[in-house]
Structure 1
């Protein structure tokens, strides 16, 4: 299916690995030019060069700390015309209310929650001028509310509300705002968290693959499965989808 994205320009944050990296690849396959952002300059340029070589689309990069407003505004100032913003940068740590102190909670939200909000605000006019799309990669904890991931669950729920509320405004301006709530996804971060859990529960981090047995289909989602949804929701093929959160977790109540 041609997603009618050829020649569009997309900004993907957190693009050096995982869902962000794969989203950049899938958008490039559809003919999008890219601006990729993350903290790690070397890894970011490696991703960009691979995409340029494989897909022949223009790819720019900017290494920036998106947890601070100066970093976000550095990124904003480098953006020209823009059709798609994929907000993906963020890694909120596990822990219950007593384990996540105020500083850790604030630092995590500065990147993911306030980072998404700030970029959406700063780039809204550019996106509206081209009837663009914001895709927020959020997380299924915003629906399930696990107490052992309280900062993430609360932040994700806030971003779900933000996505739906901004979607109402976006419709009046001819643009769209959508979200994706992935469940477990086979990324380096997922493996690191599973290793830590296996160490706690089994005393052996190498037993982390055993946790997949309890997941739908006996596995986590692949980054490409999430990235394919990103591309579709960002495309004119999904042009009547707005203010919507799509959950990708293997099935109802999984």
Structure 2
């Protein structure tokens, strides 16, 4: 049984104002960076990636300035310096689809093919080596994930996978899909589990962003050699569940509380 939870804090004027200013910044900056990345299509991939990285850095600064929302990371020492690992991450909001690139890089992500059709932002994203899949064709999507994911890993990139498939509300857990674990099994590259509570401050399908500190916990690499995808998934899922519980306990001690109903 899952538990649905929301922050008990109300949305005051500052939350509305900050969220509005942040939205305006995204609205204005995305076409600019999109054009710059697209203009760099004739340049090496590292140049386009760097341009996108600068935009992300500024986005996180503006998020903190306007909304009072920042983050802290535990376990950075578990990220291989040489790259080449699969990140199995908790998925609660849009925050992790952007912010994780700040400290896990170079990175690509498994995403919906339709996202690449979004003007400017999606077009630019298409030049950054995404693994874009059609969820309606699961067999083909899995083949693309394994083939393109292995190629990206061999290039020294991190492959970000959200095994729950979609954003899940804080306090809830979704079934782990096998795609990321199968990529690990087939490629032999390690899996790094990642937990966070971004959904408590940047809720899914919500315009509002609440002040606070998002906690990110990164686990030690899981050796995937000789393991089946079910074993890999189970090990990563258990670590993430335990890490989410630790985050909840830490929040309770510091006064950030949730109310939940089972």
Same fold (TM over 0.5): no
- Tell me the TM-score normalised to structure 1 length: 0.41
More relative contact order, 1 or 2 (CA 8 Å, 6+ apart): 2
- TM-score, normalized by length of structure 2? 0.40
